Amino acid sequence: MFYLCIPIFIPNLLDNETIFILAIESSCDDTSAAVLRNDTVLSNVVANQKIHEEYGGVVPELASRAHQQNIVPVVSQALAKANIDKKQLSAIAFTRGPGLMGSLLVGTSFAKSLALGLSIPLIEVNHMQAHILAHFIKDESMTTPNFPFLALTISGGHTQIVRVNDFFDMQILGQTLDDAVGEAFDKSAKLLGLPYPGGPLVDKHASNGDPLRFPFPIPKVKGLNFSFSGLKTSILYFIQKNMSEKPNFIEENMEDICASIQYTIVTILMEKLKKAVKETGIKRIAIGGGVSANSGIRKAIKDSEQKLGWTTHIPKFEYCTDNAAMIGIVGFYKFKNKDFSEQTITAQARYVI
């Protein structure tokens, strides 16, 4: 068997050199490209895939096909918005995993080909690490956490409490044993007849509802781990029981049901976070991932500054849900460490931080 040997392009770096990174994110159902000048975002383009709405969840095969259609226009738009020619790029960063294999393959092969064509370095990025390091994007509206801090990463695929000692020194202290918190939001929303992704809609309806009207049980899970599958089951039984008595129960109580579901989820997350602070003695908290866009969790985190004496960091809205800017900031720090990837690198659906 013959192997084609392709060298890694390692540039000669000057300390004060400006670095331009093109970043690509395609781990799930958003195709995104961003351009960064050092730690500043020049553009961050996200193409959402509406196609999944009618199926009530992400269909992997449709997601990868949509990525194939979107990737070239999204990258072109990101370069145009940043007013950068591809010849000016210093490196290409891409999401290697975790995520859906078919989706990851589109971004990975595109990034590899472009880096090869431009003879510039390739940088692989862990999606969950990127949700955490999004806090290091230079932006007037955000504050950067000091190390060590605790990160609560809450998305459609993950729920983790991570001790972050340094940029690339992270330790998972606890995680979900079944559904991710985003899935808990989306599956509850589906039971209420709301379209996918239901998380933002539950949040919207909850804003005018009574969070204490319908109490749902808080699961008892050991240590800093989470479980959300029981909550989904209790919501299912609650809805079935009430609908059998009043067929219009959901319509008439949508706001209170959503507020009660959101209150329960926020309580579960905050209880574990408080336990993590007690165990580690670390009071610096940063949240990340799509669910950190939720107004209930944002408020609970913010309130803990006064109530519990925590220092908290909440990313700008556009850096909460999946986006390439967060991939770019990891790319920037890896570039500074000269941590480049080989052309033989492959996508990895399961990829632990």
Mark the segment that binds ligand KG4 (CB under 6 A) among 155-163, 167-175, 252-260, 304-312: 155-163
Tell me whether residue 90 or residue 176 sits nearer to ligand KG4 (CB atom).
176
Of residues 321-340, which lie at the interface with ligand KG4 (CB under 6 A)? Answer: 321-322
Which of Zn ion, ligand KG4, none does residue 199 bind (CB under 5 to 8 Å by kind)?
ligand KG4
Q: Assess 155 for contact with ligand KG4 (CB under 6 A).
A: yes
Q: Using CA atoms of 194, 134, 109, 334 in order, give the dihedral in degrees to the nearest 10.
A: -160
Of residues 65-84, which lie at the interface with ligand KG4 (CB under 6 A)? Answer: none
Tell me whether residue 29 or residue 322 sits nearer to Zn ion (CB atom).
322
Q: Assess 151 for contact with ligand KG4 (CB under 6 A).
A: no
Q: Assess 103 for contact with ligand KG4 (CB under 6 A).
A: no
Q: Which residue is nearest to ligand KG4 (CB)?
A: 290
Binding mask 146-175 for Zn ion (x = CB under 5 A): ---------x--------------------
Q: Could you tell me the CA-to-CA distances from 227 to 2, 155, 220 in Å, in that order?
A: 48, 14, 8
Tell me whether residue 89 or residue 330 sits nearer to ligand KG4 (CB atom).
330
Phi-psi region of 15 (alpha: psi -120 to 50; beta: other; left: phi over 0): alpha
Q: Assess 209 for contact with ligand KG4 (CB under 6 A).
A: no
Rg value, the chain, Cα: 21
Tell me how long the chain is.
Answer: 353
- Residue 81's φ and ψ, nearest 5 degrees, are -65, -35
Tell me whether residue 162 or residue 259 sits nearer to Zn ion (CB atom).
162
Nearest alpha-carbon partner for 199 in 296, 61, 319, 304: 296
Q: Assess 156 for contact with ligand KG4 (CB under 6 A).
A: yes
Of residues 267-306, which lie at the interface with ligand KG4 (CB under 6 A)? Answer: 289-291, 293-294
Q: Assess 103 for contact with Zn ion (CB under 5 A).
A: no
State how far the Cα of 235 lies from the Cα of 211, in Å rounded to an integer: 14
Tell me whether residue 179 or residue 322 sits nearer to Zn ion (CB atom).
322
CB of 352 to ligand KG4, least distance (A): 15
Q: Which residue is nearest to Zn ion (CB)?
A: 155
Tell me whether residue 43 or residue 323 sits nearer to ligand KG4 (CB atom).
323
Q: Assess 124 for contact with ligand KG4 (CB under 6 A).
A: no
Tell me whether residue 165 or residue 207 sits nearer to ligand KG4 (CB atom).
207
Residue 38: which residues within 8 A CB-CB, separation 6 or more? 18, 19, 138, 332
| DSSP helix/strand/coil, 174 | strand
Q: Could you tell me the CA-to-CA distances from 307 to 153, 175, 281, 297 in Å, in that order?
A: 22, 25, 16, 15
Q: Assess 179 for contact with Zn ion (CB under 5 A).
A: no
Which of the 8 DSSP states describes residue 280? Answer: H
Of residues 282-341, which lie at the interface with Zn ion (CB under 5 A)? Answer: 322
Q: How many residues bind ligand KG4 (CB under 6 A)?
A: 18
Structure tokens, 203: 């949040």
State how far the Cα of 23 lies from the Cα of 181, in Å rounded to an integer: 27
The amino acid occupying position 163 is: R
Write down the H helix ranges in the chain: 60-82, 101-118, 127-133, 181-191, 199-206, 229-245, 249-280, 295-308, 325-336
State how far the Cα of 34 lies from the Cα of 80, in Å rounded to an integer: 11
Mark the segment that binds ligand KG4 (CB under 6 A) among 133-141, 152-160, 164-172, 341-349: 152-160
Residue 306: which residues within 8 A CB-CB, separation 6 or more? none
Tell me whether residue 121 or residue 199 sits nearer to ligand KG4 (CB atom).
199
Binding site for ligand KG4 (CB under 6 A): 28, 155-157, 182, 185-186, 197, 199-200, 203, 289-291, 293-294, 321-322
- Which residues contact Zn ion by CB under 5 A? 155, 322
